[in-house]
Every structure is written in structure tokens, then in C-alpha cells.
Amino acid sequence: MELHLTLVFNGLATGMLIFLLAAGLSLIFGLMSVLNFAHGALFMFGAYMGTWVYILIGGWDSNLGNLNFFIGMAAAAGIGIVLGYLVERFTVRQVYGNHLRQILITTGVMLVVGELVKVFWGPNVIRVVQPEFLTGYFAVGDVRLTYYRVFIIIFSTVILALLLFMLKKSKLGIVVRAGVENSEMIQALGINVRKVFTLVFIFGTMLACIGGFMWGPYQGQVNPAMGLDLMLIAFIVVAIGGLGSVAGSAIAAVLVGLSEAYMAYYFPPGSLAVNMLIMAAVLLIRPTGLFGATR
């Protein structure tokens, strides 16, 4: 029983972290039907940037206490905003409406951004430790709940709630949902849909960069391969969850996280394969994903 509780807890944490990475991808995919192959490289850049600041500030002024973690997170978010804007403005915007070219051009961006990471921070693994206030664990019965995982779950749940609330209630959210359905009609109502696209792209990239940053202490390292590896998982989540459905992405992410946790315990090499199989099964039965609109 403890074993399963532990695995579920771990799976939940991993899943919620994956959700942060996938949420932006899902929004972008849903609204602009752009499958952003650069997403992984972008959050890797965010992860490196945030980690770099986090480590730098931590070493430079230990009086800051745990603040360096949040400064690192802010740095990741900041670079996410900048990168999101640049990528949308100069590449993705040019090829809206053409799936093939979108996939190609974001692949190009993936190459460039991925290599830039190596230029700035080198091709080697960088070790990252968890901030002091989040190290350690508390026990509930025989189940050890590590603070960092608890933090991830709470943080991501807050983000998820904010996102859902925003989509449901705010004007921007309604516009985004309407834009996912019919971007032409939105324009006829006097809304510059391009601007909304840019905002969503920036926002999605920012979320991913924050997620990427949080991934570092979670795994104890950042490395140049994480972009592609995690992007694949994010893709799986989006495909399972359905086009543009934030709630769908969250559920799919938890599903993937749980299968990761269980596979990691019972048969580590098979974890990715199992997720692939889930994705393939979902797509074959319901090509729009579990929660995607049937269009």
C-alpha cells in the first residue's frame, strides 16, 4: 500500500511538472494549430537560464537565503517572454495556415535555440541542487513526501487553477477560446487575433520555461538532451489530452506521470514506450484526443 501511495505521489508530482511544460504547447496547438517543435528547445533554454541565475546568485550572495530560487524562476520566466516574442514574431507568424511549413520552421528554431544553449552553457550536464527550504521530507504513515515534490504539486495546481479560471472567466480567455474555434470571426468582431496569438505564444513559452527551470532541481541536473526528451513527453500529453484543452492536458499529464512512476519502479526502460502506446491507442480511437473538440 505504501508503495502505491509513494508511486502515486511521485507520479502526481512528475505529471504536474509535465503539465507545466505541456500547457503552453497545448494552447499554442489548439489556438493556432501550430505543432511547435521548438517547444522543447525553448524550455530547455529557460531551464538553463533560470538555473544559471539560481546558481550564480546562490554562490554570489548566500545571505539571500532561498530567494535565489525565486530569482532563478523569474529569470526563466523572463527569458521565456523574450524568446516567445522573438520566435512568434520572426518565424511562426510568417507561416500561419501551412502545417508543413510550420513544422519545418519550428524544427529550424529548435536547432538554433538548442545549439545556442550549448554555445552559452556548454554541452555538459550542470548539477542543480534543490533550494534549502525544499529539501527533506515529511512522513505520512510510511509514505515519505518530499518537500520539493509537494511544492511542485501545489505550484502547478495553482497555475492550473489560474489558467482554468482565466480561460473560463477573463475576457482574454474567452477571446482565446473563441479564437481556437474561429479566428476569422474573432477578427470581424474587432479583435486583432494576431496580437492574441502572440500573447498566447509568449505565455505558453513562459510557462514552459518556468517548468523547465523547476525540472532542474527535480532531476538534480540540466542537460542539453532534456529538450528533446521532455518535448516528446509533452507531445504525448497534448495528443492524449486533446487540442487546446488545458484540463485535458492536465489529466493526460498526470496519467503520463503515473505511468512513468510505475514503470520507473517495475520496468524502467519501458516507461517511454508505455506512454507511446497510450498515445497511439488514444489517437487511433479518438484522433482529437480525449478532451479535444471533434472538429
Partner 1 sequence: MLKIKDLHTHIEQFHILQGVNLEVPEGSVTVVLGRNGAGKTTTIRSVMGFYPNVKGDILFQDQSILQQPPYTIAKHGIGYVPEDQDIFAGLTVEENMRVAMRKEDDKTRERQEWLLDLFPDLKLAWKRKGGHLSGGQKQMLSIARALVNDTPLLLVDEPSKGLAPIMVEKVMEAMNVIRETTTILLVEQNFIMASQLGDYFYMIDDGQTVFEGEMKLLQEDEGLRKKYLGIA
Partner 2 sequence: MNIKKMYSKSEAVAGGGTSGAGTETPKGNRAGTSKPMKNPFQSMTWQKAAWIISLLILFAVPILVSKNSTLFMLTNIFIWAVFAMSYNLLLGYTGIISFGHAMFFGIGAYCFALMARHIPQGELGFLFAFGLTVVICFLLSLVVGLLSLRLRDTFYALITLAVATIFVIIAEQWRTMTMGNDGFNFTAMLSRDLFGFIDLLDRQHVYYIALIFLVSMFVVLKRFIDSPVGRTLQAIRDNEDRVSSLGFAVLNYKLISNIIAGVMAGLAGVVYAISIRFVSPDSVLGVENTIDVLLMTVIGGVGTMLGPIIGAGVVEVSSHYLMGLSHIHPIFERWVILFGIVFILIILFFPAGIVGTINQKLRGKKKEGAS
Residues that bind partner 1 (CB under 8 A): 171, 174-175, 177-178, 180-182, 184-193, 293
Binding mask 4-23 for partner 2 (x = CB under 8 A): --------------------
Q: Is 161 in the site for partner 2 (CB under 8 A)?
A: no
Distance CA 245, CA 30 (A): 7
Q: How many residues bind partner 2 (CB under 8 A)?
A: 37
Which segment (124-132, 186-194, 203-211, 234-242) binds partner 2 by CB under 8 A? 234-242
Nearer to partner 2, 17 or 117 (CB): 117
* Residue reference for cell 523574450: 82
Helix residue ranges, H only, 126-182: 147-169, 171-181
Q: Is 25 in the site for partner 2 (CB under 8 A)?
A: no
Q: Tell which residue, 37, 6, 16, 2, has the closest CA to residue 218.
A: 16
Nearer to partner 1, 38 or 176 (CB): 176
Distance CA 172, CA 174 (A): 5
The DSSP symbol for 137 reads E
Q: Is 293 in the site for partner 2 (CB under 8 A)?
A: no
Q: Is 158 in the site for partner 2 (CB under 8 A)?
A: no
Q: Tell which residue, 169, 162, 167, has the closest CA to residue 179.
A: 167
Which regions of 136-271 does DSSP assign to beta strands (E)?
137-140, 143-146, 221-222
Binding mask 189-228 for partner 2 (x = CB under 8 A): ---------------------------------------x
* Secondary structure of residue 221 in the 3-state scheme: strand
Task: Out of 8, 71, 82, 103, name the contact with partner 2 by CB under 8 A.
Answer: 103
Q: Is 116 in the site for partner 2 (CB under 8 A)?
A: yes
Q: Tell which residue, 51, 23, 74, 210, has the closest CA to residue 124.
A: 51
Q: Is 111 in the site for partner 2 (CB under 8 A)?
A: yes
The x, y and z cell numbers of residue 128, run together, are: 542543480
Tell me which of partner 2, partner 1, none is bound by residue 188, counting a contact when its beta carbon lies within the kind-specific cut-off of 5 to 8 angstroms.
partner 1
The x, y and z cell numbers of residue 121, run together, are: 552553457
Contact, 44 vs 115, CB < 8 A?
no
Binding site for partner 2 (CB under 8 A): 29, 33, 35, 91, 94-95, 99-101, 103-105, 107-112, 114-116, 118-119, 228, 232, 235-236, 239, 269, 272-273, 276, 279-280, 283-284, 287
